[in-house]
C-alpha cells in the first residue's frame, strides 16, 4: 500500500467516528426527534390497521348511504367512544408524557374522611348501687321468692313474717302485713298485673290476696298445697302457685272454687315459675334439676296436665327463669351451685340454643326491656351481678357490692332500674339498664266530628 492512501485514512476514520458520535447523541436525546419521522413506540398499530382497512369501507358507505335506525347510530356512537375510536390521527411523532411519580401518596397527604359512626355510643354503666336500704331478717333461702316490683312502681319485700311496701315515687316505706308465727314466715310475694293487689305465699301452704291501697286482706287460697308456697306467677286473673310438695296449681281468683288446673311433673320443690308474655306457656323450675314447659292449650281440668317439653340438662336446682321480651319462645334459665350455667331454650321446638358457664351459682335472671341484654345475679364466690350482651353473651359489666349471694332481683316498670336483695340483709338499687327514654306526647284527639274533612275556607 502506498503512502498516500495510508495518510488519508486517519481523516476518514475521524470523520466516521464523529458522525457515529452525533448519531449516538441524537438517539439518546428525546428533544432531537425528526418531526417528519413517526415514532413507532408511541403508535397503536392495531388501531392504525383498523383505520386503514375499515375506514375505506366507511367512506364507501357514505357514498351509498343505507338507511339505519337512530337507535343503531346511537349504539355505534357509544361503542366508538367506549373503545376510543373517535381519534383522527394514525401516526404519532412524539412520546406520551410520563406519568408523574408521587413521592408521597395523596392518600397520606389527604386522607379520606372517616365514615359516619352509625352505631350507638357506648352506654355508661355505673359500677356501684345508687341506693342501699336495710333488709333485716330477710331469709337466706335459695328456693324462695321474696322480692317483686309492681306496675304501680311499688316494691314489695318479705322480711321474716312481715311484708313491706317501698314506694319508688317518694321513697316512702309502709308495712302491709305481719303474719302469725304459726303461719309464717312469708315465703313468696308477687304483684298482680293491676299493680294494686299482691299475693303472699306462706309457710303453712296458704296464699293470701291483699289490697295494697286499702291494706286489706281480700281472701285466702287454701287446699292447693300441702307445704310452703315458694313460687308465684300471675297470668291476668289466674294466679299460679308452686309448692314444696312439687305441685303447680292454677287459681282463678274471681271464683269461689279457685283451683281450676293443676300440673304434675316435678318430684321436688318448685322454686321458679314464669308465665310467658303471651300468657300461653308456663315455665317451671324445681329442685329436681328439671324445667317443664306447660301450654295453655293442653290444659285439662279433670286430670293433671301433661307438659309440652321437659329439659333435664341442668345439674342443679333451677330457680332463675326469664322469658325474652323481644323474641317469642325464647327462655333463659340458670342453674344452682352445682351447675353455674345459663341456658337458652326454644320452647317451640324444645332445642337448647346455647349454654354459658358463669362460674358461680345463678340465682336470678332479668331481660332488659329496651336493649338485647340479660342481667344475672350470683352467689359464691363474688356475689355479683353480671350484665351480658345477647346473643354473643359477652360480659358487659360486673356490679359488686353485696357480701352474700344475691338471691332476689326485681325490675322497675320502666325497665331501667333493678333492685337486688341478698343474704347480707341489704336491698340495693342499680341503674344498670340506662335512663328511661322520653316518650313522645300522644296526639290530642279532636272533638270536631268533621275534623278529617277538607274545608274550603
Residue 306 banded pLDDT, cuts 50, 70, 90: confident
> For 160-169, 292-301, 363-372, which range has the lowest pLDDT when averaged over its residues?
292-301
Question: Computed from CA positions of residues 25, 28, 30, 34, in that sequence, does the dihedral angle turn out positive or negative?
Answer: positive
> For 41-50, 89-98, 261-270, 278-287, which range has the lowest pLDDT when averaged over its residues?
89-98
Give the pLDDT mean for 8-14.
47
Give the C-alpha separation, 295 to 306, whole Å: 9
Burial 52-86, CB ≥16 within 10 A → b, else e = eeeeeeeeeeeeeeeeeeeeeeeeeeeeeeeeeee
As given in the structure block, the three cell numbers for residue 192 are 298482680
Residue 87 banded pLDDT, cuts 50, 70, 90: low
> For 13-17, 185-189, 191-195, 219-223, which range has the lowest pLDDT when averaged over its residues?
13-17
Q: Please spell the DSSP secondary structure of 49-92, one letter per residue.
A: HHHHHHHHHHHHHHHS-----HHHHHHHHHHHHHTT--------
DSSP-derived 3-state class of residue 179: coil
Strand partners for 251 = 239, 259
Give, in order, the Cα–Cα distances in Å from 183 to each of 135, 175, 228, 282: 21, 18, 10, 28
Q: Does the structure show a pLDDT above 50 at 55? A: yes
Q: Does the structure show a pLDDT above 80 at 138? A: yes
Give the global pTM. 0.71
Give the C-alpha separation, 433 to 374, whole Å: 10
Torsion of CA 262, 267, 268, 274, to 10 degrees: -40
Give the C-alpha separation, 244 to 267, whole Å: 10
Q: Does the structure show a pLDDT above 80 at 54? A: no
Which of these, 298, 302, 253, 262, lies nearest to 280 by C-alpha position?
298
Count Cα neighbours of 20 within 13 Å in the Cβ-side half-sphere. 6
Give the pLDDT mean for 382-405.
96
> For 33-42, 66-75, 336-345, which range has the lowest pLDDT when averaged over its residues?
33-42
What is the predicted pLDDT for the residue at 194?
A: 96
- Average model confidence (pLDDT) for the chain? 84
What is the predicted pLDDT for the residue at 430?
A: 97
Residue 109 banded pLDDT, cuts 50, 70, 90: low
Give the C-alpha separation, 355 to 353, whole Å: 7
Q: If you search the block for the grid coordinates 287454701, which residue do you land on?
A: 222
Give the C-alpha separation, 13 to 20, whole Å: 11
Tell me what percent of the residues of the chain surpass a pLDDT of 70. 71
What is the predicted pLDDT for the residue at 199?
A: 98
Residue 309 has a CB neighbour count (10 Å cut-off) of: 19
Give, in order, the Cα–Cα distances in Å from 107 to each of 100, 102, 110, 112: 16, 11, 5, 7
Q: Does the structure show a pLDDT above 60 at 120? A: yes
User: CB–CB of 194/183 below 8 Å?
Assistant: no
**CA 310-314-319 angle, 5° bins:** 85
What is the predicted pLDDT for the residue at 172?
A: 96
User: CB–CB of 92/38 below 8 Å?
Assistant: yes
The DSSP call for residue 305 is B
What is the predicted pLDDT for the residue at 451?
A: 47
Q: Please spell the DSSP secondary structure of 376-416, one letter per residue.
A: EEE-TTT--EEEEETTTTEEEEEE---SS---EEEE-TTSS
Give the C-alpha separation, 393 to 274, whole Å: 22
Burial 111-147, CB ≥16 within 10 A → b, else e = eeeeeeeeeeeeeebeeebeeebebeebbeebbbbbb
Residue 75 banded pLDDT, cuts 50, 70, 90: confident
What is the predicted pLDDT for the residue at 298?
A: 80
Amino acid at each position: 500500500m502506498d503512502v498516500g492512501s495510508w495518510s488519508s485514512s486517519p481523516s476518514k476514520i475521524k470523520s466516521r467516528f464523529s458522525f457515529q458520535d452525533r448519531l449516538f447523541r441524537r438517539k439518546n436525546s428525546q428533544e432531537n426527534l425528526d418531526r417528519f419521522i413517526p415514532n413507532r413506540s408511541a403508535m397503536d398499530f392495531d388501531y392504525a390497521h383498523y383505520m386503514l382497512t375499515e375506514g375505506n369501507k366507511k367512506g364507501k358507505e357514505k357514498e351509498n348511504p343505507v338507511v339505519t335506525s337512530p337507535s343503531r347510530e346511537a349504539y355505534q356512537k357509544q361503542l366508538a367512544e367506549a373503545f376510543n375510536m373517535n381519534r383522527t390521527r394514525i401516526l404519532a411523532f412524539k412520546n406520551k408524557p410520563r406519568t408523574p411519580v408521587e413521592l408521597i401518596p395523596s392518600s397520606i397527604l389527604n386522607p379520606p374522611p372517616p365514615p359516619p359512626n352509625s352505631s350507638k355510643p357506648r352506654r355508661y354503666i355505673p359500677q356501684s348501687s345508687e341506693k342501699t336500704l336495710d333488709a333485716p331478717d330477710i331469709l337466706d333461702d335459695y328456693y324462695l321468692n321474696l322480692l317483686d316490683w309492681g306496675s304501680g312502681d311499688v316494691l314489695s319485700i318479705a322480711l321474716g313474717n312481715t311484708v313491706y311496701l317501698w314506694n319508688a315515687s317518694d321513697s316512702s316505706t309502709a308495712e302491709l302485713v305481719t303474719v302469725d308465727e304459726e303461719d309464717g314466715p312469708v315465703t313468696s310475694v308477687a304483684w298482680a298485673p293491676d299493680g294494686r293487689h299482691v299475693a303472699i305465699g306462706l309457710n303453712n301452704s296458704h296464699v293470701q290476696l291483699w289490697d295494697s291501697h286499702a291494706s286489706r286482706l281480700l281472701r285466702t287460697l287454701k287446699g292447693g298445697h300441702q307445704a310452703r308456697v315458694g313460687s308465684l306467677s300471675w297470668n291476668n286473673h289466674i294466679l299460679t302457685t308452686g309448692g314444696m310438695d312439687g305441685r303447680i296449681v292454677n287459681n282463678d281468683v274471681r271464683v269461689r272454687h279457685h283451683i281450676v288446673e293443676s300440673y304434675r311433673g316435678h318430684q321436688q320443690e318448685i322454686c321458679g315459675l314464669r308465665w310467658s308474655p303471651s300468657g300461653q306457656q308456663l315455665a317451671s323450675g324445681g329442685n329436681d334439676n328439671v324445667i317443664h314447659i306447660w301450654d295453655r292449650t293442653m290444659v285439662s281440668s279433670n286430670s293433671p296436665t301433661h307438659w309440652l317439653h321437659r329439659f333435664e340438662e341442668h345439674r342443679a336446682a333451677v330457680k332463675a327463669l326469664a322469658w325474652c321480651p323481644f323474641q317469642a319462645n325464647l327462655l333463659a334459665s340458670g342453674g344452682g351451685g352445682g351447675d353455674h350455667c345459663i341456658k337458652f331454650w326454644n320452647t317451640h321446638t324444645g332445642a337448647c340454643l346455647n349454654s354459658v358457664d358463669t362460674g358461680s351459682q345463678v340465682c336470678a335472671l332479668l331481660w332488659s326491656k329496651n336493649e338485647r341484654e340479660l342481667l344475672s345475679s350470683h352467689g359464691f364466690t363474688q356475689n355479683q351481678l353480671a350484665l351480658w350482651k345477647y346473643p354473643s353473651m359477652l360480659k358487659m359489666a360486673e356490679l359488686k357490692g353485696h357480701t352474700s349471694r344475691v338471691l332476689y332481683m326485681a325490675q322497675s316498670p320502666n325497665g331501667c332500674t333493678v333492685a337486688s336483695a341478698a343474704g347480707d340483709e341489704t336491698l340495693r338499687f342499680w341503674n344498670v339498664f340506662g335512663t328511661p327514654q322520653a316518650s313522645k306526647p300522644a296526639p290530642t284527639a279532636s272533638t270536631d266530628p268533621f275534623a278529617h274533612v277538607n274545608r274550603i275556607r
